[in-house]
Amino acid sequence: MYILIAEDDFIISLILEKMVSEMGHEVAPICRSGEEAIREIFDKRPDCILMDYFLEDDTNGRDIMLKVREQLQTPVIFITGQPLHIIRFKTKEIKHSTCMSKPFFYHDLKKAIENVTR
C-alpha cells in the first residue's frame, strides 16, 4: 500500500515513516503544509493518508480533506494532540476516516490503517 504522511513535526513524521515502512508499506514524500499535502495527494494518489490535524501553514486536516473529497475518496487517519472527541466531531462528515491521538503506538496505527482501508 502507498501511504502519504502529512505531518509538520519532524520527529513525529520520522516515527510515522519508520512505522509505516516496517508494516511493509511504501511511503510517499512527507508533506509539512496543507498546500503541499493537497498537491501531493492529487499527484501521487496514495492508498491511505496519515494527516496531522493542524499543519505548519495554519491549515487543518478537515479543510484539506474536504478539498480532496471533491475528487478522491482516499481513506484518511487524522492524527492529533487535541482531545479526540473534538476532532471526531469536526471530521464526522469526512467518510472513510478515523482519528488517533498523539502519542500513538505501532499496533494502534497498524490497526487504524487496516480498518480505514477495508
Where residue 79 sits, what CATH number does that domain have?
3.40.50.2300
How high is the pLDDT of residue 62? 95
DSSP element (H, E) containing 62: helix 61-69
Whether the Cβ atoms of residue 112 and residue 77 lie closer than 8 Å to each other: yes
Report pLDDT digits (tens) over 81-96: 999 999 999 999 999 9
Cell 520527529 -> residue: 11
How high is the pLDDT of residue 37? 98
Number of domains comprising the chain: 1
- The gap between the terminal CA atoms of the chain, to the nearest Å, is 12
Computed on alpha carbons and rounded to an integer, the radius of gyration of the chain in Å comes to: 12
How high is the pLDDT of residue 70? 95
Report pLDDT digits (tens) over 94-116: 999 999 999 999 999 999 999 99
How high is the pLDDT of residue 80? 96
* Residue range of the domain that includes 10: 2-116
Whether the Cβ atoms of residue 77 and residue 99 lie closer than 8 Å to each other: yes
Report pLDDT digits (tens) over 40-72: 999 999 999 999 999 999 899 999 999 999 999
